[in-house]
Chains A and B, each alone.
Chain A
Amino acid sequence: AQSVAQPEDQVNVAEGNPLTVKCTYSVSGNPYLFWYVQYPNRGLQFLLKYITGDNLVKGSYGFEAEFNKSQTSFHLKKPSALVSDSALYFCAVRGYNTDKLIFGTGTRLQVFP
């Protein structure tokens, strides 16, 4: 069955420090992987995606994610966090031969000044 796990409900980090938001997935065949961000009372905005190719994917606002096939993970990272990065982050997966797009439960990122 297709699924996404975000093991941390909340991640706290000081401004200027690196951040990591974890995501693991389960899907048949090759995955399409995505990260989205949601600011309060807003819809979801796309951050980055992995389709194929280089395992390190760079996205919007300085975020990047690393695809690890052996660990079935797609962790979101940023070298230096900003207070404005505080938001709710969602990981999503879709199988290669399906239109079914499944999201994780979300991780709230809090960046403290």
Chain B
Amino acid sequence: NAGVTQTPKFQVLKTGQSMTLQCAQDMNHNSMYWYRQDPGMGLRLIYYSASEGTTDKGEVPNGYNVSRLNKREFSLRLESAAPSQTSVYFCASRPGTGGLAFFGQGTRLTVV
């Protein structure tokens, strides 16, 4: 079982560049999440999706967009990267009510 797969694992961007972080899960989960992890800040929720075609803002959505085109995939897009977006990004998925979240291995993004 692959679980939750994130690509790429590492990325360096220049300020102003755009990119999309990909996340796919093979567990037929309904809900998917994007978090960023920064030292001393813990995990902060960027966006989440309760089901295919729906998305909601989390705690820190500014500067990001997401897309949930199908049940498996939930992508995170940075339209114009800023140094403040340097972070480790985690994708997670969760089945229905009461289910626990499974996490990907993370994407380490550096914006210079």
Contacts and interface: CB of A to CB of B under 8 A. Distances in A.
Interface of A: 6, 9, 32, 34, 36, 42-46, 49, 51, 90, 92, 99-106
A104 B31 CA distance: 20
Contacts of B43: 44, 90, 92, 103, 106
Contact of B31 (A44, A99, A103, A106): A99
Given A103-B42, A105-B40, A43 B48 contact: no
11 contacts: A34-B101, A43-B90, A43-B103, A44-B90, A46-B102, A92-B101, A99-B31, A99-B94, A101-B33, A102-B59, A106-B43
Given A32-B98, A49-B100, A103 B48 contact: no
Contacts, number: 57
A107 B105 CA distance: 20
B104 A99 contact: no
Nearest to B106: A43
A21 B43 CA distance: 17
B23 to A, nearest CB: 12
B41 interface: yes
Contacts of B105: 42-43
Interface in B32-61: 33, 35, 40-45, 48-50, 56, 58-59
A1 to B, nearest CB: 10
Interface of B: 31, 33, 35, 40-45, 48-50, 56, 58-59, 90, 92, 94, 98, 100-106
Contact of A103 (B35, B98, B100, B102): B35
A31 B45 CA distance: 18
B103 to A, nearest CB: 4
Nearest to B91: A43
A101 B48 contact: yes
B104 A43 contact: yes
- What 8 A-B pairs are tightest by C-beta distance, nearest first? A105-B42, A103-B43, A99-B50, A43-B103, A44-B103, A106-B42, A43-B105, A99-B31
Contacts of B104: 43
Most chain A beta carbons < 10 A, residue from B35, B101, B105? B101
